[in-house]
Structure 1
Amino acid sequence: MEIIRFGRTDAKKILAFGSRRSASVPLASGSGNAHAYCIYFRPGGMIGPHVAGFDQLFLVVSGRGWVSGRDGKRFALRAGQGAIFRRGEMHSKGSRTGMTAMMFQVTRLRRRARRVR
């Protein structure tokens, strides 16, 4: 067994895509291009619009925020909710009040959770 840390103090700023007030902790990688991150958004933080390089599962674990697709329309998310972005999909995410999220990127993702939109 390995015990890991992924607190805010372990996070590094996200500088790409015009992002601000956001940071992430890489959690794991595996074979087949799989990556896991814990992402912290301070109030007003965001990861700017960019194309997803992988299928992506984005899960809010605390706070509230938003996600948007290629049309830029924002959808509100809170703890217990998430979004799936497909490889090649333009998207962004952020929070007005602060949010912590887990993000998993894989070559091919199959949704198993209940879809609400």
Structure 2
Amino acid sequence: MSLRGMLEDVFTVKTTLACPAFSATFDVQELQRIFDNLISNVQKYAAPDKPVLLAISAENGQLNIRQENAVRKLDASSEGYQIGLKSIRRIAQNYGGRVEVRQDDAMFMISIILSEI
């Protein structure tokens, strides 16, 4: 099931796919791990009344997976351990990529760059 399919029951998911011909070798299980972590983070922390934005693009030999969502108001006991983000960073580094995260009280954005191998 796709990221969109797993979240549509609770969240509005808006996707943008801009992938021209792109060829790379990635471990499918590692890509699945990235999406599993994104799904988990949305389910735990995203505001269900706001859309989740997912954009996937390829440019200059890099695959970019970008996800943005409004942050649900959480109490102090809901703090995460960021294990999912650490896992995503490790996978991106395995592919010569990087992860950029921006977060404040209202919004969360993650951009995962994977280089063509």
Structure 2-normalised TM-score? 0.31
Higher helix share: 2
Structure label with greater radius of gyration: 2
Higher strand share: 1
